[in-house]
Amino acid sequence: MSSPNPTGAARPLLVVDDDATFVRVLSRALASRGFEVISAVNADEARALTRRHQPKHCVLDLKLGEENGLRLIPELHELMPDMRILLLTGYASIATAVEAIKRGAHDYLAKPVDADAVVRALLEGDSPHQGEDEVLDAPEAPLALRRLEWEHIQRVLTECDGNISETARRLGMHRRTLQRKLSKHPVRERPQSSN
């Protein structure tokens, strides 16, 4: 019925985190970078705000009190299929990163994070004025989610002696999905700068 972004100026972004101080600081920083920030402290609020505002971007904490942010990812995608979701956590692990991407997150960052890293993760490959080199040359950038996933897949594939079906079974994904991921080139970490 109503337009998701009536002003057409700011980009709606949902921040879901139960840490009020973190939300306030991050929201202010993201607003200064052109986002219209709305925030939720739990899954129910996140669903309601997504229905109402239809944000195209979401910064989601893994731990929401007793709730788990991973479970919220597919629900948010049901409400907004093209939403780009960045999962944040204080407990980074390859297993969590792979699970986040399987559920539909676009990227994953370990806390503490700065607003520029959040913006890069949300807009990577999404913005015509955001160059790939800008993202790849980010100082002290954490390992990208796709890179972590690629390494994990390669490790399991090696353990299975190259057997695609067994690898897919162990990773809990469809064989076709695994083949599609394997057909892509591995994600580079930051290239060596020549300047």
The residue among 167 and 7 whose pLDDT is bigger is 167
pLDDT band at 80 (very low <50, low <70, confident <90, very high): very high
Question: In this structure, is residue 111 part of a structural domain?
Answer: yes
CATH classification of the domain holding 159: 1.10.10.60
Q: What is the mean pLDDT of the chain?
A: 78
Query: How many domains, the chain?
Result: 2
Q: Is 123 found in the same domain as 90?
A: yes
Is residue 4 classed exposed, middle or buried when 0-12, 13-18 and 19+ CB atoms within 10 A define those classes?
Answer: exposed
Nearest to 58 by CA among 105, 91, 95, 102: 105
User: Higher confidence at residue 95 or residue 82?
Assistant: 82
Cα–Cα distance, 175 to 181 (Å, whole number): 10
Is 193 part of a structural domain of the chain?
no
Assigned domain for 119 exists: yes
- Residues 167, 123, single domain; the answer is no
Confidence of residue 193 (pLDDT cuts 50, 70, 90): very low
The lowest-confidence range among 12-16, 21-25, 90-94, 143-147 is: 143-147
pLDDT in tens, 20-76: 899 999 999 999 999 999 999 999 999 999 999 999 999 999 888 788 888 999 999
| 167/86 same-domain check | no
Residue 59 C-alpha from the chain's centroid: 7
8 Å CB contact between 70 and 97: no
Whether 41 and 121 map to the same domain: the answer is yes
Question: Does residue 178 share a domain with residue 105?
Answer: no
Q: Tell me: do 33 and 102 sit in the same domain.
A: yes
Q: Tell whether 113 is covered by a domain.
A: yes
Enclosing domain of residue 102:
11-136
Residue 2 lies in a domain: no
Say if 172 falls within a structural domain: yes
pTM, two decimals, is 0.62
